[in-house]
Amino acid sequence: MEEATLVLISTFNIGSIVVKMALFVRRRRQYFALVRRVDDLMLLQSESCSQDPVLGHLLWRSKRTAARLTTAMLLLMVSQYVTWYPMPLIMKGGARRLPLAQHPWDNNSNYYELSYAVQCMAGAWMTQISFGIDCLFVSVMILVAAQMKILASRVARLRMRGDGFWRKRHAIKSTGDNVYRELCLCIETHQQLLRYVEKRLLISMNSAKLVLVNERSTHEEWTTLL
């Protein structure tokens, strides 16, 4: 019963990963466009970030968070491999056991080493790809959220500058023109961010709804069975 449960769990997870990979391959142009569009959105406010240390820090922190999260998730899976894959060799002594699924027709007697290596490599390869796709969406959302924060900071500062301008009627007209011009740029940036979230990011997220289900089931499988 325990072996049947493990096989069913592994089959479900591997099947989910295969479906996710198929969606990625089928819509890879859309995923590539998703990433390229994020780069374009980051360029819209790059000048403001380079001139303002606070905004530059927000941008740098979002990039660091996305990179660290992706690395941490992938390393987490590597730690699971190191713990899980050698377990059949350690726990069963001299018995021939495989890490994921057994071969009841020959009691794992034929091509044991090859079967063991194939299961380990296939499991590692597929889970790394699966978590990589998951981290892609998370990183995109982190970067887009940072762009929203940067835009909010720019608008807040414009409001302060605008209030000071209207209180001083004798202020130079060019100051008001600069505030108005910067406000127009902020509005355009906001529109592009909203358009990106609505038309690209949400569509791509809907095409990969099984990401969260698969990620949670995979994590529960590795943690509970260990």
| DSSP assigned state of 99 | S
Give the pTM. 0.73
pLDDT of residue 14: 77
Distance (Å, whole) CA 172 – CA 11: 71
Question: Which residues in the chain show pLDDT less than 70?
Answer: 1-3, 92-94, 160-177, 199-226
pLDDT of residue 61: 92
pLDDT of residue 134: 82
| DSSP assigned state of 73 | H
Burial of 8 (0-12, 13-18, 19+ CB in 10 A): exposed
Handedness of CA 212, 3, 117, 88 (dihedral sign): positive
Distance (Å, whole) CA 209 – CA 216: 12
Q: Letter for the amino acid at 116?
A: Y
Domain boundaries along the sequence of the chain = 2-225
How many C-beta neighbours within 10 Å does residue 205 have?
Answer: 16
Tokens of 124: 């590692």
| DSSP assigned state of 207 | T
pLDDT of residue 92: 62
**Residue 218 C-beta-side C-alpha neighbours within 13 Å:** 25
